[in-house]
Amino acid sequence: MAHASDGRSLEFRLPDLGEGLTEAEIVRWLVEVGDVVAVDQPVVEVETAKAMVEVPCPYGGVVTARFGEEGTELPVGAPLVTVAVGEVDGAGDAAADGPARGTGAGGGTGAAESPPAGQAPAAQKKAEGSGNVLVGYGTSEAPARRRRVRPDRPAATGVSGRANGRVRGAGPVDGPVPVISPLVRRLARQNDLDLRELTGSGPDGLILRADVEYALRAAAAQGVRTADQEAGAIRMPDAASASSGAFSSTSAAPHADGTRVPLKGVRGAVADKLSRSRREIPDATCWVDADATELMRARTAMNASGGPRISLVALLARICTAALARFPELNSTVDTEAREIVRLDRVHLGFAAQTDRGLVVPVVRDAHARDAEGLTAEFARLTEAARAGRLTPGDLTGGTFTLNNYGVFGVDGSTPIINHPEAAMLGVGRIVPKPWVHEGELAVRQVVQLSLTFDHRVCDGGTAGGFLRYVADCVEQPAVLLRTL
């Protein structure tokens, strides 16, 4: 164990993970209580609805407490770890000599010590942290002293106060229901649970998914039934199904065949986003077949000249950015409240990637400023991170246009759903030998189907058709791209 001298304990909280994500599940702790951590060293791996994220701690020192067991869901702003910062000497006794802490199930802490009254400015500066940003959060100093945890509340597990959650009959909460996550609202609605009758365990009484699940388990164990349940419309899950998180309303047949798969995690996030796109965006699709023979030859020649190999998707991305420069209407978004079309100056190009966890859309930042070699390298980096589950929320947000190469699945065409809130998506089918009229004669050529799904609010068919025709011309004659750069 390391010993922290002339230091103090700082509390690091779960940071803002971006794009409306309000909670994350602890997948794996990367440190133990008593470990020495460096500034910006990852301390925990969490899973959001977007990605698996390793969360770095901005403080260096000795870990004096962890909050939350693996599998626990925490809201943004909940404590993750406390770190005794200051000079580290030896490998001995910080766990014993550091600030007092409790011994809850999650290794939680009772109270963090106030900084010594006479602490030197140099020591204070060391305790300020790195100031680095994960996604939209900075390093800030935690309060010098935190309230001690009541022994009857499992705060150290990251779901403090769940025991105080109430079910029907316990009395409503005054004022608006403190819930941020739509997933929590849907879970309660599917199980006919009134959120006003729960006491949230999150910051400022925020109701978490753990609170809803606890209430459902308690209702099942106590035999509590709502009026709808008594009418046979809804069956409350038993304790075993409640603990596994398999909550959903049942069909009319009480023992219907089939397997129920909860829409949560990446699958749930994809479902929500696609549903929103269909609800809000009046989309239309146009498509064209193109002769990709010359593009394939050009790529072969580029890769034969030495240097890093150029991927086909990088060439298609380069064509996309050139087309968006000519048709900027498609690199935009719609502000529905202001009733304005916002045309964007930079192209952040998303691309669909299928992983074991589901479909994700990593984003290549400033794709318009990258050449084919740079695009190839960035596509490779993001694809590898996606397959390994290492994409950050920052890698998955902020796209302005999406390239969907569904040809890798062996299909010729598709009508993609726009990645909300973008305005368009280019789909690329497989490139296969087909009979084609070339220079007045029938020949076997490498043919690809291109499709463009676009938001009809931002442009009409003429603009969309012009964009797609330009892309097809570049595919058929790569020299067209060179003339317009």
Task: Report pLDDT for 484.
Answer: 60
230 class by beta-carbon count within 10 Å (0-12 exposed, 13-18 middle, 19+ buried): exposed
What φ, ψ does residue 280 adopt, rounded to 5°? -100, -25
pLDDT at 124 over 50: no
- Where residue 204 falls (left for φ over 0; alpha for ψ -120 to 50; beta otherwise) is left
* Domain 3-157 identical in fold to domain 282-484: no
pLDDT over 70 at 412, yes or no = yes
What's the mean per-residue pLDDT of the chain?
75
| CATH architecture assigned to 282-484 | 2-Layer Sandwich (3.30)
Between residues 97 and 463, the one the model is more confident about: 463
Strand pairing of 340-343 and 349-351?
Answer: unpaired
Helix, strand, or coil here: 171?
A: coil
pLDDT tens profile 23-64: 788 888 999 999 999 988 999 988 776 667 788 999 899 999
Instruction: Return the closest-CA partner of residue 26 out of 96, 105, 99, 83.
Output: 105
Q: In angstroms, rounded to a whole number, what is the distance separating the alpha carbons of residues 470 and 319?
A: 9
In this prediction, residues 79-102 reach a mean pLDDT of 57
Please give the Cα distance from 398 to 363 (Å, whole number). 7
- CATH hierarchy code of domain 3-157: 2.40.50.100
Instruction: Specify the residue for token string 């949560």.
Output: 264
State mean pLDDT over 420-424.
Answer: 95
What mean pLDDT is predicted for residues 380-388?
Answer: 90
Q: Which two tokens stand for residue 460?
A: 């009409």
237-256 in b/e burial notation, b at 16+ Cβ within 10 A? beeebbeeeebbebeeeeee
Contacts of 453 (CB under 8 A, 6+ apart): 283, 284, 285, 415, 416, 417, 418, 424, 425, 427
Sorting pLDDT into bands at 50, 70 and 90, what band is 396?
Answer: confident
pLDDT of residue 480: 81
The 3-state DSSP composition of the chain as helix, strand, coil percent (nearest 5) reads: 30, 25, 45
Give residue 132's pLDDT.
Answer: 54
| Domain locations along the chain | 3-157, 162-262, 282-484
Residue 358 pLDDT > 50, yes or no?
yes
Report which residue type is found at 331: N
Highest mean pLDDT among 101-110, 142-151, 198-207, 387-396: 387-396
pLDDT digits (tens, 9 = 90+) for 299-338: 999 999 888 899 999 999 999 999 999 999 999 999 999 9
Work out the average pLDDT over 271-289. Answer: 93
The pLDDT of 169-185, averaged and rounded, is 54
Phi–psi pair at 333, nearest 5 degrees: -145, 165
Angle of helix 293-304 relative to helix 461-476, nearest 10 degrees, comes to: 50
**Percent of the chain clearing pLDDT 70 (strictly above):** 68
Alpha-carbon distance of 278 to 281, in angstroms, equals 6
* CA separation for the pair 352, 431 (Å, rounded): 18
198: pLDDT strictly greater than 50: yes
DSSP H stretches of helix in 281-413: 293-304, 312-326, 372-388
Q: Which residues are annotated as catalytic? A: 456, 460
